Amino acid sequence: MSHQYREGWVDRQIREAQERGEFDNLPGAGKPLGNLGDPNDPDWWVRRYIEREQLDVSGALPAPLVLRKEAASFPDSLAEVRTEAEVREILEDFNRRVKVDRLRPAVGNLPPLLARTVDVDDIVEQWRRLRESMAPPPSEPAAPPPPPRPWWRRRR
């Protein structure tokens, strides 16, 4: 019983391209593929793609890690906020999101990954010091402009 190979459409396209020489003299021909990553890591190719394309994968992080990164950015990320009331509102919203995240069910047999709430008063105080350090030094009041010259002196 002999098995006969039937060339499919893809195989035919590749064979014809080879016959035309389209794979000859490609950049990197004859060179090793380079570091392909850890052979035991099934996601090595995803990591290489993310690195090569310089993708922002922060949206793919678990919620607790996103919250931890956000907390680590306080108070610097609040530098442009103008009022203490707005800063407090932002921080209280952050603490609310942390508490909501804690209600999600655990996945797997590992302990759940949690983010901590922040001390609103402490961060507000840090924000005040940051804003004071960013404020321009008070300048001397500008001297009043000289009074206009009388009309008879302007004619000269």
Distance between CA atoms of residues 124 and 122, nearest Å: 5
Domain spans, the chain: 58-134
Q: pLDDT tens for the chain, 156 residues: list them.
A: 556 678 899 999 999 999 999 988 888 777 777 666 677 888 888 888 888 899 888 788 888 999 999 999 999 999 999 999 999 999 999 999 999 999 988 878 878 889 999 999 999 999 999 999 987 766 667 777 777 777 777 665
Distance CA(32)–CA(80), nearest Å, equals 50
**Torsion on CA atoms 75, 79, 83, 85, rounded to nearest 10:** -30
Residue 124 CA to residue 91 CA, distance in Å, equals 9
Q: Provide the whole-model pTM.
A: 0.56
